[in-house]
A and B are shown apart, each in its own frame.
Chain A
């Protein structure tokens, strides 16, 4: 396989500088439309969106205490980045928009932020200030330090900017998906009775890093499914318990295993889900195979309805109709979620945000959608696979390409 990090002549060129420029333009436009004076980003995926891929993947504790933060003030189309990782600062920010890190978990650190905001603004900080997420100290101290500046939630502006992907963003997700899938061929070959979940994770990680991934978005899932809900763990909603964390559990002959994970490539997530059978010679039973056939029908119906102008409600109805009137997804999830710098972002379709919310989502070219219908037959088990598509002018284009082995 070619090195996915390089730009080969036979594939579309990935232009990271253009991607950052296009994303900033989208954010500036949303700030303008909503009258936001200052945008303060402290979340991992939102700073990645606003500035670029500026930090190594790490868990929430490291993200908190080795924090990256970005500030975009109305009238400036370049964000200011505060970072402990200056070697990863995008070149357009190096001269005068890259600053030493801030410590936003304590009052003194928030005081330093307030001072920096005034300096950047060259006077009073323009309000309202839109904020994505905050520590307790940041939330309780910042407004007081800035003459009671109005602080609003940035999530609507961020969602509006992020929901349509630029061609470069789509290419990043496509490459993340390609690395993820390339690794899975080796993992499927390694799947055998007695192997541990953790061993599969180790092999998978070894392979994705060889292939050029930069990290993990989520601890990979290799979950043997119960035959019935009653055999599985207790759930508060009565549905099938999934996804359960991996550990050193051994996968045994005959286990029906649902697989799920996402990797990171230039700040963008992949999403991979499939159903495997653990056996020397894996072969689904006719009942198991019928679940897969039903899954294919649901995906075909959903994709037939996928085109610009269709609503999330249209897709929910198409999927439900193809499953004889029953919603074919887990109660605690959704039929569809988006993917980008966050592994499950808008559009969420079929979630507990409700039918009116689904209707409010209107598909448009450049929307990324992960279809994850689940077919479940109580007492027998079920089939789950994730299909990644991008909405195009005429319909959709598939970004996932892994085969449905051992089902076909």
Chain B
């Protein structure tokens, strides 16, 4: 239970505390202001890229621009322009109903989902402001959709709006930050519930089930990643990166178990990972957990200290390299907002994924540390920081396996 209480300790960070219910004197998040500020940022970046319209198919981009709460689906979907942003007025949103649609968006701006791409594109052609657009940004494409859009908007030049939306989303507003804090609080609380269920004989998947049950009790339904609680073994295959998918294998006494999750609150992810040893292990197992904790803590503290305005995301990766620990084959730094987002930096990632991005106040970043001991096991830790004026503030607070302070 200690771990859960520490997770809930995050509640004290905000003036009204962090919770998921609105309060009488006003909600913890002003969603009207949140939507207005996000849309304004989209428009600023559209103007910078000289775009007359955005046709957004990426669900996170569409949600950012419109605030539409649409059905969550696992995995990717082929590009379909489900949200249209023009320089003025409210966005047009693909939704057959107005449930989950912000009241600012008039019913006349809604259009139904279609199974027939030709019907879908007819909708585009009927939007007057879009017909006049000359430079149109898209955040995805399929060859079929490209030919249909070109026939519906023959005078439009299509360009990649991916970078436009990345710039719009990068710095968080205070309301976005409140959503991320709520998501982290719910993740950490649910993680604590799973930790209570960590005992020999439980399967990796069932352990994740305890996490999701607590999530539901707190009023939320979704975690951005599924079934991501795993035993990190000491064999060489996990030297540079942890296994990431839970199985039906039972956890044994002393096993090091990574609890890696991200509950979603209003679309925002609370991305946290911790590693704990399963109770019932030998003194050697507990000693190994402490050794790995100490190694991970040294890297983690260096990474947090490195996240200052003015440095690049790649500079933070260099700090990992300088720590003497091998850099894992995972993103060491990635943005957290409406799910996972740029800047991403680390092994295998090209510099334009985010390594060259300069950190500025208001960015929210996940920092990942992974250390491994041959024959013993691995230890994964992920925390979220808010980049401030001088340094960074840790938004995650859940206790860590091997930390003597929690024993």
- Residues of A in contact with B (beta carbons under 8 Å apart): 3, 5-6, 42-45, 55-66, 84-88, 100-101, 103, 105-109, 111-112, 131-137, 139-140, 151-153, 155, 196-203, 205-210, 212-221, 232-237, 239, 241, 243-248, 264, 332, 334, 343, 348, 351-354
Contacts and interface: CB of A to CB of B under 8 A. Distances in A.
Contacts of A108: 350-353
A115 B158 CA distance: 25
Given A245-B71, A245-B72, A332-B113, A56 B348 contact: no
Given A106-B352, A219-B71, A219-B72, A62 B224 contact: yes
Contacts of B89: none
A247 B71 CA distance: 11
B255 interface: no
B70 interface: yes
23 contacts: A5-B248, A43-B76, A57-B226, A62-B340, A101-B348, A103-B344, A112-B350, A132-B142, A133-B140, A197-B221, A198-B216, A198-B220, A201-B216, A203-B216, A209-B208, A209-B227, A212-B205, A214-B205, A236-B95, A236-B96, A245-B99, A332-B113, A353-B115
A137 B71 CA distance: 26
Given A57-B74, A87-B237, A133-B79, A155 B142 contact: yes
B74 A217 contact: yes
B116 A60 contact: no
Interface of B: 20, 58-60, 69-79, 95-100, 107, 110-116, 119, 138-144, 146, 159-162, 203, 205-206, 208-210, 212-222, 224-228, 237-238, 241, 243-246, 248, 264, 269, 329-331, 334, 338-342, 344, 348-353
Given A136-B138, A218-B73, A236-B95, 11 more contacts: A58-B225, A59-B225, A103-B350, A133-B140, A135-B160, A153-B143, A153-B144, A199-B217, A219-B73, A241-B96, A246-B221
Given A58-B225, A131-B142, A140-B159, A209 B209 contact: yes
A296 B316 CA distance: 62
Closest 6 pairs between A and B when the two form their complex, measured CB to CB? A202-B216, A61-B339, A44-B75, A136-B160, A248-B219, A209-B209
A106 B111 CA distance: 30
Nearest to A343: B73
Contacts of B160: 135-137, 139-140
A248 B96 contact: no
A28 B99 CA distance: 44
A210 B75 contact: no
Contacts of B269: 61
Contact of B248 (A3, A43, A107, A215): A3
A62 B75 CA distance: 8
Contacts of A137: 160, 162
B162 A105 contact: yes
Contacts of A105: 162, 342, 353
A233 B227 contact: no
Contacts of B214: 202
Contact of A218 (B72, B162, B213): B72
Contacts of A219: 71-73, 221-222
A112 B248 CA distance: 36
A46 to B, nearest CB: 9
B228 A56 contact: yes
A244 B213 contact: no
A136 B162 contact: yes
B99 A103 contact: no
Contacts of B138: 136
Contact of A60 (B69, B71, B77, B237): B77
